[in-house]
Structure 1
């Protein structure tokens, strides 16, 4: 099969599996829903706090988007390990490198498109309710944060996809990553703040700050997250190449 045909087949798989496509849609839908719930009610009150950070706070709902992105990356790959689907896929595409590259490329492209739409939408919609505290895309760092937020979501999806190829289970990956993002990252941050800066979520979210604090800047933080994602993808490639279907 040609590369174009393999890419097309991988996109068909994502559209056809409800868990995968639902997670992809949820990146945008859940984030927008949280934005519409939070900003009209407490947005201006929170902005009035002395320690408020207007730009970073504008992307509050991305905390939920990253969970959806992780779920999408995991389910997009785990569907291959249900009912012997991987054997069929490798029969059609015996070149495992092409198969794995096409799958991860589609995951990356789909999440990046959804992530960019989500990042811009949550920023612009949220600011519509901020009154005198409104900031626009002309605010220093705002455009960078919107673009970086989409890239961050794509990297988290790839991180989950690589781990799923290694562990062959979306349940296992979600059981590890979601508690890690929601709990462990904050615990490590309280105990060892310097080390926490290099965790995939903490590092990537540096791009959402107007003036990042710490050793990592906005783009170097995203680069650290990219290294985590690349390591997971390499581990997943090793598993796909060496293990039986």
Structure 2
């Protein structure tokens, strides 16, 4: 008599090592996504064109100003080339908002966070891309503006004095300012997540909220000076415009950007995709 013993197959367990995605790899992936959307190119190009147009239009406006108006009785000054950079930067803040909120709208954010488990790396990568693009747009547009402005002013027999330290401050400062504003946009987009709500909140926060203190407080003007655009724009303003000074003003803007970015990073880590 023979006894048959059934052999139970042992399941084979395969172990796969999980490799952390480097920050460089994350930035590369986010850059590919950024380039893939035509709307990103349109908004970035539109901002560049606006800044270039301002750099050309302001000197021409000075040449053809109404000499009979008391408000036109002022000397040419180099800061006119970057005069509107503070407010044009809102376009880049909106672009930054769309970089993150469009992923929430499409559901792609879930795939992104599965691919890069360290959520903070995703946020840092997006911020690095939009800040880098914003810096290039600001620096290039202002450099071109300062290259052509003297020739335009010379048509009317005008000129301005621009020292090298001031030129460096205005050219690099244009890029630095726009980079900080774009980080505010990426932070607000991450915090709010909804496309429409985040875009509106960004515009209201940067453009409308600073005017509110002036409506309800005798100290409103002093309070308004410490909001992002108002403080950061001092970096691009003529010396002596505000006691805060250009670099202190930029430090205030940078503080806003960093605080909002930290809040966004914390919320991104704690909330579900």
More helix by share: 1
After superposition, give the CA deviation of every residue in 1:192-212 in whole Å (9 maximum; x if it has no partner). Answer: 221111110011011112313
What TM-score, normalized by structure 1, do the two folds share?
A: 0.87
Distance 2:205 2:63 in 1: 30
- Contact map agreement 2:78 2:161 (CA 8 A) in 1: no
- Contact map agreement 1:136 1:142 (CA 8 A) in 2: no
Which residue in 1 is equivalent to 2:52?
32
The root-mean-square deviation of aligned C-alpha atoms, in Å, is 2.5
Change (3 A) 1:188 1:26: farther
Q: More deviation in 150-159 or 31-40?
A: 31-40
The alignment status of 1:175 with 2:205, answered yes or no, reads no
Which residue in 1 is equivalent to 2:39?
19
Change (3 A) 1:134 1:158: same
The runs of 5 or more residues in structure 2 that have no matched partner are 1-20
- Contact map agreement 1:31 1:61 (CA 8 A) in 2: yes
Which residue in 1 is equivalent to 2:94?
71
Q: What is the aligned counterpart of 1:207 among 212, 230, 235?
A: 235
After superposition, give the CA deviation of every residue in 1:147-187 in whole Å (9 maximum; x if it has no partner). Answer: 11210011000011101100013422331332444444356
Paired residue secondary structure (1:212): coil
Which residue in 2 is equivalent to 1:141?
166
Q: What is the aligned counterpart of 1:62 among 67, 78, 85?
A: 85
Distance 1:149 1:15 in 2: 23
- Contact map agreement 2:59 2:152 (CA 8 A) in 1: yes
The alignment status of 1:5 with 2:25, answered yes or no, reads yes
| Aligned-residue offset at 1:63 | 4.3
Which residue in 2 is equivalent to 1:90?
113
Q: Number of paired residues?
A: 244
What TM-score, normalized by structure 2, do the two folds share?
A: 0.79
Distance 1:140 1:124 in 2: 16
The alignment status of 1:44 with 2:30, answered yes or no, reads no
Rg larger in structure: 2
- Contact map agreement 2:76 2:158 (CA 8 A) in 1: no
Q: What is the aligned counterpart of 1:227 among 255, 259, 263?
A: 255
Q: What is the aligned counterpart of 2:182 among 157, 167, 173?
A: 157
- Contact map agreement 2:227 2:253 (CA 8 A) in 1: yes
